Amino acid sequence: MTTCAALIVAAGRGQRFGGNLPKQYAPLRGEKLLSRTLRAFNSHPKINRIVVAIHPDDADSFAEAAKGFVKVTAVHGGATRQDSVRLGLEALADAAPDLVLIHDGARPMVSATLIDNVIAGLSQAEGVLPVTPVVDTLKRVNAGGIVGETVSRENLVRAQTPQGFRFATILKAHRSFAGEALTDDAAVLERAGHAVATVPGDETNIKVTTMDDLAQLTAALTETRVGQGFDVHKFGPGNSVMLCGLTVPHTHGLIGHSDADVALHAGTDAILGAIGAGDIGQHFPPTNPKWRGAASDKFLKHAYDLLLERGGALVHLDFTIICERPKVGPHRAAMVASVAHILGIAEDRISVKATTTEGLGFTGRQEGIAAQAVATVKL
Ligand code: MG
């Protein structure tokens, strides 16, 4: 069986990136960017092992990024990318896989299909390069920024990684041309006189070079989720009910372990539902005396904090309160303001609606109040 290793180059300092840490360790959707890159190779069935060329200063960051990826080991890279690749290849020399895919650590969007296509291409060639077309018009400008000429796009393509090679061939080429300033591994193979074949690359397989790239990638990976909540509380003795954190005068109170704010309970479950974090009963068990008579704004705030901890944002929280009495309409604006205040977000992200059930069912018989909530979040 053909063996295939991956060599991930992650030793760069990222001078173009700015920020405090090299780009490969920048956070991307709650993990390090490099973790996403490693996952793509670690989960690919045709990749047997992965060597990552890292900077010696990054040992701790790397250990965190590589946690749980069983195929991954690290080697210290060199002063240039070319050096780092050569050192990585030397680390694989004993195992001598048949094939090696060399990939930029800062290309976290590499797909399993692209990895497959590069490997497939190696049945016909010593080296395989994924490429994408040049779509923009190219200009050569002088030092003053004045256009000198328009460069023809004909036969021009953009080179991506992973670049695939027969291992023995690329190791020999890197040993022969160590110290020469060649920009990528395909160029090293070309320098050794071998033909490099191409396969279609992938426009989403971008290399994160600037903060702007990272922001674009984060936006592209942001997803919208919707969670819903439902709750009921029964009327009992009292002269007011809590709804959306507001005291509303009524002929009865609502019975509950906490303050029985049926709307905020539904809202809490809606947010918890959107992030898959269980339900209100799990977080605040009614059996725990600590929550007796508790103000329910705590519950809602807790769910919201969990959302923020996951890097999320609340887009909208929509309540429907179902009862014959008390009339919600006169309090609607104050309820919206109350929820917005609890969460510290704008009022236009909160909606409070009310309905009756036309005298039908338990709400119609005025035995209690039901509430529904729908939370829309970005993650
Ligand atoms: Mg409840």
Note the Cα 80 to chain centre separation in Å.
Answer: 30
Residue 191 Cα to ligand 1 middle (Å): 71
Residue 268 Cα to ligand 1 middle (Å): 10
Residue 255 Cα to ligand 1 middle (Å): 9
pLDDT tens across 187-213, in order? 999 999 999 999 999 999 999 998 899
User: What is the set of domains in the chain, with CATH numbers?
Assistant: 4-219 (3.90.550.10), 224-378 (3.30.1330.50)
**Confidence tier at 248 by pLDDT (50, 70, 90):** very high
pLDDT tens across 132-161, in order? 999 999 999 999 999 999 999 999 999 999
pLDDT tens across 304-354, in order? 999 999 889 999 999 999 999 999 999 999 999 999 999 999 999 999 999
Residue 297 Cα to ligand 1 middle (Å): 12
Phi-psi category of residue 372: left, alpha or beta, with phi > 0 → left and psi -120 to 50 → alpha = beta
d(CA 82, CA 189): 12
- Helix/strand/coil percentages in the chain, nearest 5: 35, 30, 40
Residue type for position 209: T
Residue 286 Cα to ligand 1 middle (Å): 9
Q: Are 163 and 186 in contact (CB under 8 A)?
A: yes
Residue 261 Cα to ligand 1 middle (Å): 7
Q: Are strands 99-104 and 4-10 parallel, antiparallel or unpaired?
A: parallel
Dihedral of the alpha carbons of 48, 54, 57, 60, in degrees to the nearest 10: -30
- 1 CB-near residues (< 8 Å, 6+ apart): none
- 34 CB-near residues (< 8 Å, 6+ apart): 8, 10, 24, 25, 52, 62, 65, 66, 105, 106, 108
d(CA 283, CA 303): 9
Residue 346 Cα to ligand 1 middle (Å): 25
Residue 262 Cα to ligand 1 middle (Å): 5
Q: Are 186 and 174 in contact (CB under 8 A)?
A: no
Is residue 92 over pLDDT 80? Answer: yes
Q: Are strands 31-32 and 27-28 parallel, antiparallel or unpaired?
A: antiparallel
Residue 163 Cα to ligand 1 middle (Å): 57
Tokens of 47: 């990749």
Is residue 20 over pLDDT 90? Answer: no
Residue 281 Cα to ligand 1 middle (Å): 8
Residue 69 Cα to ligand 1 middle (Å): 42
Nearest to 242 by CA among 66, 92, 342, 369: 369
Residue 341 Cα to ligand 1 middle (Å): 21
Residue 262, number of CB atoms within 10 A of its CB? 30
Residue 235 Cα to ligand 1 middle (Å): 12
Residue 376, number of CB atoms within 10 A of its CB? 17
Predicted local confidence at residue 351, as pLDDT: 98
Residue 370 Cα to ligand 1 middle (Å): 9
d(CA 216, CA 204): 11
Residue 331 Cα to ligand 1 middle (Å): 20
Determine the average pLDDT of the residues in 22-46: 93
Average pLDDT over the chain reads: 95
Nearest to 351 by CA among 324, 375, 370: 375
d(CA 21, CA 75): 19
Nearest to 221 by CA among 374, 376, 33: 33
225-249 burial, b at 16+ Cβ within 10 Å, e below that, comes to bebebbbbbebeeeeebbbbbbebe
Residue 345 Cα to ligand 1 middle (Å): 23
Q: Is 307 exposed, middle or buried (0-12, 13-18, 19+ CB in 10 A)?
A: buried
Is residue 230 over pLDDT 70? Answer: yes
| Half-sphere exposure in the Cβ direction for 314 (13 Å, CA) | 33
- 278 CB-near residues (< 8 Å, 6+ apart): 272
